[in-house]
């Protein structure tokens, strides 16, 4: 093994020669390829070959293989010329690439052996890799699971995103609670990305619209930055197909540096366009409380859309030139553009602009092409997450696009007036432009619905709410436009690679590993759910995962946890609707009751370790207060000698994909407890269920379908249903809510100061009163608390019966087949994109 300083680079085994070999399959050849990169693709001084140097050399040896497969894939796509999908997303939460790529290429054994020949363990080298900081939560992770499935299903598809240098932020937990520092994943470089110096497109901001003598219009002036492409290879599982995630970096040109001003000492002024270009891809979701923050977010969105569409159209044009007969009206038969949420909405007016202003199409033809090309996935019913942009900001930054949006809106409204007199009084809410004189805005979701050929929700309940409530009037206009596509997760990363012990057991009992690409085969486990031998193997795999998780928790937090306790986990973005506050108030009540018990009573309780993790947005004060409360409760509980044998509370810092890959396999109970009707789908619920973890949850998002699939007796249900929520809020406003004594007791215990001197008044005030901003318990924590505590009591009861719990765990995995992203993507491909598999021979 390596010492802390690593190995000398001149001490490689003599019998292994440094040799470039992209097709290496055998351990000695792979080791030779790794040595080759350590020597001849150097990024470090030549005398050292420590774990970090080994990571980069190993990644580059694997990248050789990926580039070869990638090139074969694109040569094949070019030859066959299929219709292709282009997936536009502001976020991709990729996680580590090394173990995933090795796994998808089925090279785990050879790579592990190769590294051993060089004195390292594969796990040790994989630990060196930083997660790519290109996303935040479920939206970004979904996009990454989708790319994995697109490649695995051999679909002709690309992902498009932005190359954020510093991601959202890295979360530190201090005495003050959450603190944010910049992500450093690109501090050195990413070994996976390949810069395409020949793929550069100009992207304009500001300026004005010039009207030509023939009446055509052109956007001129303003700032022009350059979009430079970086490609990241995405290998499919057990296939040659390797597709691309293309990330855009914003740059200014050399000539944009004003040398005269620079030499006059006006350095900032001389390089202002360089500085403004660099800001675009600095962080994901820059704070938007200020005008400049809003402007930067809008720039990011337009930059992604414009660069991606110019790229797509340039490829279409190249092909047209080669073939001679292709027309713009053929564009939708070769191109499908999917907008992942409203962030890429500007693809609609930008495609219109490029078709009309740059390619000479008239309005009707451009609209026909656009509306047959773009489709929209809605991810939320939360009003604050349905984007609305100030019209004045849009006119300032994108004057030509505002003209186009105005025209789309004008024609849509005229069409409604001409054909649907019954909707006359709904026009103000259906229109794209909200011309409220106090705050005129562009409603991006409305623009998406009006312009797209298909709109989909991401779980059955969510899609039903969209059709019945949010978009009900649009449904009456276009009944066939709306679909459901229940989200999914890739079983490769989320079971096969993150829990190899459990995977091997599943393969043994199903007598096949085909479940890895056909997850419905997991139902075959149901017949063995009572089998003692399977239960024993299952228990030992779960125990190994729990021990691994316990080691990780001690390493990163210093808290020692008991692997024999019930591991209870809630990890997701911190938000009031996700109700981490209900979880921690439940823990507070449990702690208080344990304190009141006699020692012999405590011995009869089920020991529990509660883990909560996730990032609170930097400017979301109440979410940050929740993080602080979890940590304060943990400090007190974990140091209490009477109780800490029966209860531990841990806040897991800096939650990301790699942390999830340790937490999820080690979990036994997972909390998905959002207010019903507010979580579009959720996908971590699917990951936990797939790993044999039981869920305590509300009838929200995909929980509804998970409960149907795993069996309602294997799901700990509580809480109001989505259709009850509006009435309960009204009752609260009318002063009719009567709180449960346990809820009052938990709040009072926090207020008593037992968890420190921090003022939790403003946080707890959100649960008080009947109405008013930040009051009135909008998310129904108080209403759902008693049924939540009752469900937790049922959890304790079930956990005491080990055989019953193991059976429930096996049935949870057995019922998770529906939630493969392979199923989701196959449905998108057939029912929205109309694309077919194009496997490399």
Bridge partners (DSSP) listed for residue 233: 244
Task: Look at the chain and count its residues.
Answer: 841
* CA angle, residues 654, 657, 658, in degrees to nearest 5: 80
As a whole number of angstroms, the distance between CA 183 and CA 94 comes to 15
Residues pairing with 232 in the sheet:
245
DSSP state letters, 532-585? HHHHHHHHHHHHHHHHHHHHHHHHHH-----TTSEEEEEES---GGGTHHHHHH
The active-site residue out of 99, 239, 675, 683 is 683
Residue 242 φ/ψ, nearest 5 degrees: -135, 115
From the candidates 165, 170, 299, 573, give the one annotated as an active-site residue: 573
Cβ contact 381:677 at 8 Å:
yes
Rg (CA), the chain: 28
Active site residue 687: yes
**CA–CA distance, 401 with 386 (Å, rounded to integer):** 20
The residue annotated as part of the active site, out of 353, 485, 572, 747, is 572
Largest Cα separation within the chain, whole Å, is: 92
What three-state secondary structure class fits 455? strand
What gap in Å lies between CA 659 and CA 69, rounded to an integer? 30
Verify whether residue 595 is a known catalytic residue.
Answer: no
Q: Distance of CA 395 to CAs 206, 222, 782, Å?
A: 8, 13, 45
What is the distance of C-alpha 271 from the center of its chain? 35
Q: Which of 421, 399, 340, 337 is nearest to 371 (CA)?
A: 337
How far is 492 from 762, CA to CA, in rounded Å? 43
Residues 264, 249: Cα–Cα separation, whole Å? 30
Question: How many CA atoms does the CB half-sphere of 797 hold within 13 Å?
Answer: 7
Among 297, 379, 401, 742, which one carries the catalytic annotation?
379
Assign 188 to helix, strand or coil. coil
Q: Please name which of 542, 535, 591, 531 lies closest in space to residue 564, comparing C-alpha atoms.
A: 542
CB under 8 Å to 685, separation ≥6 — which residues?
670, 672, 695, 697, 701, 702, 703, 706
Strand partners, 524: none
The token duo for 131 is 């997660």
Instruction: Count CB atoms within 10 A of the CB of residue 451.
Output: 26
Catalytically annotated residue among 687, 707, 742, 807:
687
User: Does the active-site annotation cover 683?
Assistant: yes
Q: Residues 6 or more apart from 330 whose CB is under 8 A from it?
A: none
Q: Are strands 566-571 and 669-672 parallel, antiparallel or unpaired?
A: parallel
3-state secondary structure of 815: coil
- The three state secondary structure string of 494-529 is HHHHCCHHHHHHHHHHHCCCHHHCCHHHHHHHHHHC
Tokens of residue 759, six digits: 């003022």
Side-chain-facing half-sphere of 647: CA atoms under 13 Å: 24
Separation of alpha carbons 809 and 538, rounded Å = 9
Cα 34 from Cα 21, distance rounded (Å): 9
Catalytic annotation, pick one of 246, 493, 496, 578: 578
DSSP 840: -
Distant-in-sequence contacts of 59-62, Cβ < 8 A, 24+ apart: 59/97, 59/98, 59/129, 59/191, 59/192, 60/191, 61/24, 61/30, 61/33, 61/34, 61/36, 61/37, 62/98, 62/101, 62/102, 62/105, 62/107, 62/111
Is residue 353 part of the annotated active site? The answer reads no
d(CA 205, CA 226): 11
DSSP reduced 3-state for 57: helix
256 in Cβ contact with 278 (< 8 Å): no
Structure tokens at 312: 């797509």
| φ, ψ for residue 671, nearest 5 deg | -105, 120
Residues with active-site annotation: 379, 572-573, 578, 683, 687
């Amino acid at each position: 093994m390596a010492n802390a300083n690593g190995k000398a680079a001149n001490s490689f085994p003599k019998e292994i020669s440094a040799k470039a070999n992209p097709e290496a399959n055998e351990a000695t050849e792979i080791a030779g390829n790794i040595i080759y990169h350590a020597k001849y693709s150097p990024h470090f001084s030549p005398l050292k070959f420590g774990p970090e140097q080994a990571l980069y050399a190993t990644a580059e040896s694997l990248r050789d293989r990926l580039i070869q497969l990638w090139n074969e894939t694109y040569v094949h796509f070019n030859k066959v010329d299929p219709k292709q999908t282009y997936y536009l997303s502001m976020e991709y939460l990729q996680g580590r690439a090394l173990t995933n790529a090795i796994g998808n290429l089925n090279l785990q054994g050879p790579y592990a052996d190769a590294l051993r020949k060089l004195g390292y363990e594969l796990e040790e080298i994989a630990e060196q890799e930083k997660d790519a900081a290109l996303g935040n939560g479920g939206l970004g992770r979904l996009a990454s699971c989708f790319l994995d499935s697109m490649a695995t299903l051999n679909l002709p598809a690309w992902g498009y995103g932005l190359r954020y240098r510093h991601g959202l932020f890295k979360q530190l937990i201090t005495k003050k609670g959450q603190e944010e520092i910049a992500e450093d994943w690109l501090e050195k470089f990413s070994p996976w990305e390949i810069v395409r110096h020949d793929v550069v497109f100009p992207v304009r901001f500001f300026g004005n619209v010039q009207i030509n003598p023939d009446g055509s219009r052109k956007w001129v002036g303003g700032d022009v930055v350059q979009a430079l492409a970086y490609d990241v290879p995405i290998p499919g599982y057990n296939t040659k197909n390797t597709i691309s995630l293309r990330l855009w970096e914003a740059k200014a040109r050399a000539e944009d540096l004003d040398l005269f001003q620079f030499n006059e000492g006006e350095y900032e002024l001389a390089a202002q366009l360089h500085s403004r270009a660099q800001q675009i891809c600095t962080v994901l979701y820059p704070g938007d409380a200020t005008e400049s923050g809003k402007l930067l977010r809008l720039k990011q969105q337009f930059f992604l859309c414009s660069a991606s569409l110019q790229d797509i159209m340039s490829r279409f044009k190249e092909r047209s030139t080669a073939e001679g007969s292709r027309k713009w009206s053929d564009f939708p038969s070769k191109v499908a553009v999917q907008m992942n949420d409203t962030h890429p909405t500007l693809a609609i007016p930008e495609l219109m602009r490029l078709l009309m202003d740059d390619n000479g199409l008239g309005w009707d033809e451009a609209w026909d092409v656009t509306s047959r090309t773009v489709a929209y996935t809605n991810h939320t019913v939360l009003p604050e997450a349905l984007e609305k942009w100030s019209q004045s900001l849009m006119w300032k930054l994108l004057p030509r696009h505002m003209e186009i949006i105005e025209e789309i809106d004008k024609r849509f409204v005229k069409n409604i007036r001409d054909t649907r007199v019954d909707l006359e009084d709904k026009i103000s809410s259906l229109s794209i432009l909200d011309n409220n004189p106090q705050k005129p805005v562009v409603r991006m979701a409305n623009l998406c619905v009006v312009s797209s050929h298909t709109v989909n929700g991401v779980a059955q309940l969510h899609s039903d709410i969209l059709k019945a409530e949010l978009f009900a009037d649009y449904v009456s206009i276009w009944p066939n436009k709306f679909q459901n596509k229940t989200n999914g997760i890739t079983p490769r990363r989320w079971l096969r690679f993150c829990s190899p012990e459990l995977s091997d057991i599943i393969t043994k009992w199903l007598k096949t590993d085909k479940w890895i690409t056909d997850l419905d085969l997991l139902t075959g486990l149901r017949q063995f759910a009572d089998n003692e031998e399977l239960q024993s193997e299952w228990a030992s795999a779960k125990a190994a995962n729990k021990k691994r998780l316990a080691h990780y928790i001690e390493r990163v937090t210093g808290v020692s946890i008991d692997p024999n306790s019930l591991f209870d986990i809630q990890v997701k973005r911190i938000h009031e609707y996700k109700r981490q506050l209900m979880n921690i108030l439940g823990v507070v009540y449990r702690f208080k009751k344990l304190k009141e018990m006699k020692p012999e009573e405590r011995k009869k309780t089920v020991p529990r370790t509660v883990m909560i993790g996730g990032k609170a947005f930097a400017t979301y004060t109440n979410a940050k207060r929740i993080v602080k409360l979890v940590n304060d409760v943990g400090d007190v509980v974990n140091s209490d000698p009477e109780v800490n044998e029966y209860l531990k509370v841990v806040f897991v810092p800096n939650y990301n994909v790699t942390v999830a890959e340790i937490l999820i396999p080690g979990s036994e109970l997972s909390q998905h407890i959002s207010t019903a009707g507010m979580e579009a789908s959720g996908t971590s619920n699917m990951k936990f269920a797939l790993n044999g973890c039981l869920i305590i949850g509300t009838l929200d998002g995909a929980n509804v379908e998970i409960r149907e699939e795993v069996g309602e007796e294997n799901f700990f249900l509580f809480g109001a249903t989505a259709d009850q929520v509006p009435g309960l809020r009204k009752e609260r406003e009318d002063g009719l809510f009567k709180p449960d004594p346990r809820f009052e007791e938990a709040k009072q215990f926090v207020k008593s100061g037992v968890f420190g001197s921090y003022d939790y008044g403003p946080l707890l005030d959100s649960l008080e009163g009947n109405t008013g901003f930040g009051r009135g318990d909008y998310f129904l924590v108080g209403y759902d608390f008693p049924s939540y505590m009752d469900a937790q009591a049922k959890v304790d009861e079930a956990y005491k019966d080990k055989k019953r719990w193991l059976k429930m765990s096996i049935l949870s995995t057995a019922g998770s087949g529906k939630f493969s992203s392979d199923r989701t993507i196959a449905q998108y491909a057939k029912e929205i994109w109309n694309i077919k598999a194009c496997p490399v021979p």
